């Protein structure tokens, strides 16, 4: 992953910084010469880029062959009465007929479907967990419109019961946790494997890059306007954004110079580290934005400062500018049919996803909701049906790209998950029927080849610490 350093390198960098401090602390009376300046640490090595590294590990699995199933490979491919083989945590083969290796578990999937695990690019599980009490409400650092210094992972409570529901009812195997949208710069996101762990680090998707949550529109101007602070208007939103990016450009210039040429290390600014990461292409911008006209402004602003918006989230008006999004290579992450709950969602329509697909723009479903994340397959089914009624022909298997491959691309992890291709993580769902039918549910869910949910085995159903010993513990939820 670009910009990522190993733990070994972190130690080396720390050592270099210490040396640099020694060389400039004034105890040596000799005058400094240009040739005596501290050596250049090298680009992106001036400070740790991964101070909270993933400790996730795949749980043990057994080689598994699921056959006689309808397979959606996640990249638009479909095989009737096909087979999927995975072993060692990875997809081994997908095909019409596959031989079971010795010792493999063989599952007859007649009448069932196999798909890649669902990826939700927009979730607040862990930072707005259940129960929704103030003491656990950690999603919005709504004390300043620019909080690029906060990291959602530092709010993630790994005991959120929502993770287990998303796995068992939703077939969700990967999710991005974002800060909320009160702020223009909400902070860093984190990508998690949907596998319970004692620590946030234990859930962190190994090697996944960070995102920066940004927000335009009503929320920032309402939150800060309500405090009689800037921004209180949409123009105020953009003004604060641009002022902040201008600082970030200068910060990046200073740090690039230091890392390339050495000398005195500039002061660290944790918020600016994140924005520098965006400008360097290391961190992806995930931008909450509803209205078409505002998305167009944001894309121009990105060009002004030399970054790219990876995806607009909640883009209920994306269908009005599918052509523009395509030109800018920017994705839209949307709900199927949410609309009307606030002014900027007034023009939401159920055909949004299908119209984007028709235009050739990158589109995907998202939840932003602890209930919706349990039914993203159903949301896609509704969006698909709306599109077909509007005369837009999209196959079921192509629509599955909205659930796994496109979000994987927008998270920069499509080389590792999001589709059933040999060598990729065996993040796999066996559905008890057509997953685009309201009547189907996950029967088994594997993450990295480990069976972590089995509808037929109560021992393969997670129960978070919070629910242990409470009414309803271990119930089928």
Partner 1 sequence: MKALLLAAAALIAAPVSAQTIAITGGTVAIGDGSQPITGGTVVIRDGRVVAAGSGVAVPAGAQIVDATGKWVTPGIVAGIGSLGLVDVGGVQESNDSRARTSPFNAGLDVSTAINPHGVIIGNERAGGVTRAIVADDAAGSIFAGQGAIIDLGDDPDPITRPRAFQYVELGEGGADRAGGSRPAAYAMLFDAFAQAADFRRNPAGFDGRSTDSLLKRADAEALLPVLDGRMPLVVHVERASDIRQVLTLPRRYPGLKLILAGAAEGWMVAPEIAAARVPVMASAIADLPASFEQLAATESNVGRMTRAGITVGVLADGRGGEHGVTQFAGNLVAIARVPGATGLDWGQAFATITSKPAQVMGMDGEIGSLRAGRRADVVLWDGDPLELSSAPVSVLIDGRAQPMSSRQRRLRDRYLTPGETDLPKAYSR
Q: What does the binding site for partner 1 look like in residue numbers (CB under 8 A)?
A: 130-133, 161-162, 165, 169, 218, 319-324, 335-343, 346-351, 355, 359, 370-372, 374-375, 378, 381-382, 384-386, 388-391, 432-433, 436-441, 455-456, 458, 466-467, 470-472, 475-477
- Cα separation of 169 and 171, whole Å? 6
- How is 38-86 classified by DSSP, letter by letter? PPP--TT-SS-S-SS-----PPP---EEEEEEEEE-SSS-EEEEEEEEE
Choice between 31 and 391, CB closer to partner 1: 391
Least distance in angstroms from the C-beta of 451 to partner 1: 16
For the chain, state the CA radius of gyration: 23
Choice between 279 and 309, CB closer to partner 1: 309
Packing angle, helices 234-261 and 218-225, rounded to 10? 100
- Cα separation of 305 and 319, whole Å? 26
Choice between 221 and 421, CB closer to partner 1: 221
With the C-alpha atoms ordered 157, 160, 165, 168, is the resulting torsion angle positive or negative?
positive
Least distance in angstroms from the C-beta of 399 to partner 1: 11
- Cα separation of 420 and 427, whole Å? 8
Least distance in angstroms from the C-beta of 454 to partner 1: 10
Least distance in angstroms from the C-beta of 143 to partner 1: 22
What is the 8-class DSSP label of residue 465?
G
Choice between 15 and 458, CB closer to partner 1: 458
Choice between 112 and 193, CB closer to partner 1: 112
Choice between 146 and 166, CB closer to partner 1: 166
CA-wise closest residue to 278 among 249, 311, 312: 249
Least distance in angstroms from the C-beta of 367 to partner 1: 11
Choice between 74 and 162, CB closer to partner 1: 162
Least distance in angstroms from the C-beta of 402 to partner 1: 14
Least distance in angstroms from the C-beta of 56 to partner 1: 24
Burial class (CB in 10 A: 0-12, 13-18, 19+), 387: buried
- Cα separation of 367 and 423, whole Å? 28
The answer for residues whose C-beta is within 8 angstroms of residue 146's C-beta and 6 or more apart is 183, 184, 185, 240, 244, 271
């Amino acid at each position: 992953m670009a910009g990522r350093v190993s733990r070994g390198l972190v130690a080396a960098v720390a050592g270099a910084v210490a040396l640099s401090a020694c060389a400039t602390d004034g105890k040596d009376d000799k005058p400094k010469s240009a040739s005596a300046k501290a050596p250049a640490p090298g680009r992106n090595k001036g400070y740790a880029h991964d101070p909270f590294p993933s400790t996730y590990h795949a749980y043990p699995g057994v080689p598994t062959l699921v056959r006689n199933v309808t397979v959606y490979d996640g990249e638009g491919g479909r095989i009737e009465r096909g087979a999927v083989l995975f072993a060692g945590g990875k997809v081994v083969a997908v095909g019409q007929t596959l031989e079971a290796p010795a010792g493999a578990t063989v599952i007859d999937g007649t009448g069932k479907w196999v798909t890649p695990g669902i990826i939700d690019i927009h979730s607040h599980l862990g930072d707005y967990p259940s129960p929704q009490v103030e003491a656990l409400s950690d999603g919005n650092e709504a004390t300043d419109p620019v909080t690029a210094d906060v990291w959602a992972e530092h709010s993630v409570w790994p005991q959120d019961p929502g993770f287990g529901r998303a796995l068992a009812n939703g077939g969700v195997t990967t999710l991005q946790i974002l800060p909320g949208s009160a702020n223009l710069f909400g902070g860093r996101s984190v990508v998690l494997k949907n596998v319970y762990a004692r620590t946030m680090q234990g859930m962190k998707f190994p090697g996944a890059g960070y995102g920066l949550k940004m927000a335009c529109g009503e929320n920032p101007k309402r939150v800060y306007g309500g405090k009689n602070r800037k921004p209180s208007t949409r123009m105020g939103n953009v003004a604060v954004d641009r002022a902040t990016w201008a600082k970030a450009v200068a910060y990046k210039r200073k740090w690039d110079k230091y890392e390339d040429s050495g000398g005195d290390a500039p002061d660290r600014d944790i918020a600016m580290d994140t924005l520098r990461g965006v400008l360097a292409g290391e961190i992806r911008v995930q931008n909450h934005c509803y209205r078409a006209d505002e998305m167009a402004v944001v894309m121009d602003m990105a060009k002004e400062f030399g970054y790219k918006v990876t995806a607009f989230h909640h883009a209920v008006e994306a269908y009005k500018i599918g052509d523009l999004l395509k030109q800018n290579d920017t994705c839209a992450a949307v709900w199927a049919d949410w609309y009307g709950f606030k002014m900027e969602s007034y023009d939401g329509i159920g055909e949004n996803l299908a119209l984007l697909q028709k235009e050739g723009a990158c589109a995907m479903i998202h939840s932003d909701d602890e209930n919706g994340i349990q039914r993203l397959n159903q949301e896609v089914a509704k969006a698909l049906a709306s599109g077909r009624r509007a005369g837009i022909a999209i196959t079921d298997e192509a629509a599955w790209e909205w659930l796994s491959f496109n979000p994987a691309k927008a998270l920069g992890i499509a080389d590792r998950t999001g589709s059933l291709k040999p060598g990729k993580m065996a993040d796999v769902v066996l559905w008890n029927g057509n997953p685009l039918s309201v009547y189907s549910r996950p029967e088994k869910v594997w993450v990295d080849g480990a069976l972590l949910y089995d509808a037929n085995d109560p021992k393969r159903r997670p129960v978070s610490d919070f629910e242990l010993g409470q009414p309803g513990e271990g119930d089928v939820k």
